[in-house]
Amino acid sequence: TATIIDGKAHALALRTRVAAHVATFREATGRAPGLAVVLVGEDPASAVYVRNKGKATRDAGMASFEHRLPADTDAGTLLALVAQLNADPAVDGILVQLPLPAHIDAEAVLLAIDPDKDVDGFHPVNAGRLAIGAEGFVPCTPLGCLMLLKDIHPNLSGMEAVVVGRSNIVGKPMAQLLLQQSCTVTIVHSRTRDVAAHLRRADIVVAAVGIPRFIQGDWIKPGASVIDVGINRTDDGLVGDVDFAAASAVAGAITPVPGGVGPMTIACLIRNTYVSACRRDGIEAAL
């Protein structure tokens, strides 16, 4: 049966490493790296994410600037706040929590963030940098997935990787990262004719679909490494996009839900913020 990948332990180790580097950064520069998080409205899940991000930021010895705006905030007010954060030298990272209320054009807001402070990696400039292999910011969830994979397979070169899902936040950047690692990458999605046939060839599976237990155990190649990004609320609690019980009998390694990819996302956000501070101050990042 599969090795269970302990995302919580990996995330804690990364956060501890970042905190140590942040301490060195503070000594060298006399300032703390800063992350600004903007929340518009009262979506309960978003509120929890924002609270956890603030806590993780402070735990790492960084400054957390939290901006909570009412749900009826107009686009102009939000864009003015983003402009102010872009100009603020104490802010190294800016994150606007999604989803935004429907009356605000989320794409315009993401475009307004300075790409060099875009620690979420959602700005089109950073998507482009990732595509051409230039230095930028990589979205936190796929970056966390890659870190978990590299821990199992330090050399991914030549492996067959199948990414399930093609979202801008997870699937597409994940495919880019795996390509950069010299995997042979296939992206399957809602219009793919035979998802199972593609998966059966995969040494590496990354599932980002949003359908509970979508990926069946008999779609997994024996010994494959399975990274389950899905977070689905069901009557029996949080479940992933992979049928964990069945897949873990076949796979070589697999992430659980919860406790797999989820904790890595925030750890990578902390990492990206530290890296941003180093770049802005012309210091070599220690990660």
Task: Point out which residues bind ligand NAD (CB under 6 A).
Answer: 141, 164-167, 169-171, 188-190, 192, 195, 208-211, 229-232, 261-262, 265
In the chain, how many H helices and how many E strands?
Answer: 10, 11
231 is in an annotated binding site: yes
**What positions carry a catalytic annotation?**
53, 97, 120
Q: From the CB of residue 100, how many other CB atoms can be counted at a distance below 10 Å?
A: 24
Q: Which of 164, 154, 150, 133 is nearest to 228 (CA)?
A: 164
Q: Which amino acid is at 163?
A: V
Minimum separation from the CB atom of position 235 to ligand NAD (A)? 16
Q: Which is nearer to ligand NAD, 116 or 241 (CB)?
A: 241
276 is in an annotated binding site: no
- Please, which residues have CB within 8 angstroms of residue 115's CB and are 6 or more apart in sequence? 123, 125, 126, 129, 136, 137
Q: Which is nearer to ligand NAD, 136 or 230 (CB)?
A: 230
Minimum separation from the CB atom of position 13 to ligand NAD (A)? 18
Minimum separation from the CB atom of position 192 to ligand NAD (A)? 6
157 is in an annotated binding site: no
190 is in an annotated binding site: no
| Alpha-carbon distance values, 35 to 177, 187, 275 (Å) | 24, 33, 12
Query: Alpha-carbon distance 177 to 121, whole Å?
Result: 13
The angle at the Cα of 33, spanning 27 to 35, to the nearest 5 degrees, equals 165
Q: Which is nearer to ligand NAD, 54 or 210 (CB)?
A: 210
Minimum separation from the CB atom of position 195 to ligand NAD (A)? 5
The burial class, CB within 10 Å (0-12 / 13-18 / 19+), for 258 is middle
Q: Which is nearer to ligand NAD, 25 or 49 (CB)?
A: 49
Binding site feature residues for NADP(+): 165-167, 231
